Chains A and B, each alone.
Chain A
Amino acid sequence: DAGITQSPRHKVTETGTPVTLRCHQTENHRYMYWYRQDPGHGLRLIHYSYGVKDTDKGEVSDGYSVSRSKTEDFLLTLESATSSQTSVYFCAISEHNAGTGGLETQYFGPGTRLLVL
């Protein structure tokens, strides 16, 4: 299994509070992703990173910010949590394949269940 951990694994918070989720990898992969998974939807990309300090928005980035100060850590912050951000959050990592010029498969973390009351 790829070395990806997420913390916390479960969190209950109140509307309006800030929340930070952490993704940590030991694989030294360049690309890191944050997704959310909700009933009736496929996994949706929130933000991604293609290197230290290099990040970009995904499909559902409103209300979220990210930071990547080290290769191994990718942080997702909800500045002021809302009930619509109740979800399961997955981190994933990937690497560039120099031979094919494309990206290799993505490896997923165990997920964080967030409940915003």
Chain B
Amino acid sequence: AQTVTQSQPEMSVQEAETVTLSCTYDTSESDYYLFWYKQPPSRQMILVIRQEAYKQQNATENRFSVNFQKAAKSFSLKISDSQLGDAAMYFCAYVASGTYKYIFGTGTRLKVLA
């Protein structure tokens, strides 16, 4: 069975600094998607970044980038130049291609210190 593990329940980062959130997953599939979703205090989940497993190049979205290590089944999120608005719960998610069942990690609460 597929699993997603986020080993950091909570992280803190100083404003303008860089922080990395960890995520590992387990699957026997070769084709899948990985995501990082953000859930701010307003509670609506929004997509931060997406990675297709067949792509070797790490995805980047402005200040957000991932380190995707397929062999190690690792998918970490790096947030550069952290801003107060980045404070939220971050969920790592996996879905096998062609399926609908998303597997979410337990989340990492990110605090940004002014």
Q: Do A and B bind each other?
A: no
By a beta-carbon cutoff of 8 Å, the part of chain A in contact with chain B is none
By a beta-carbon cutoff of 8 Å, the part of chain B in contact with chain A is none
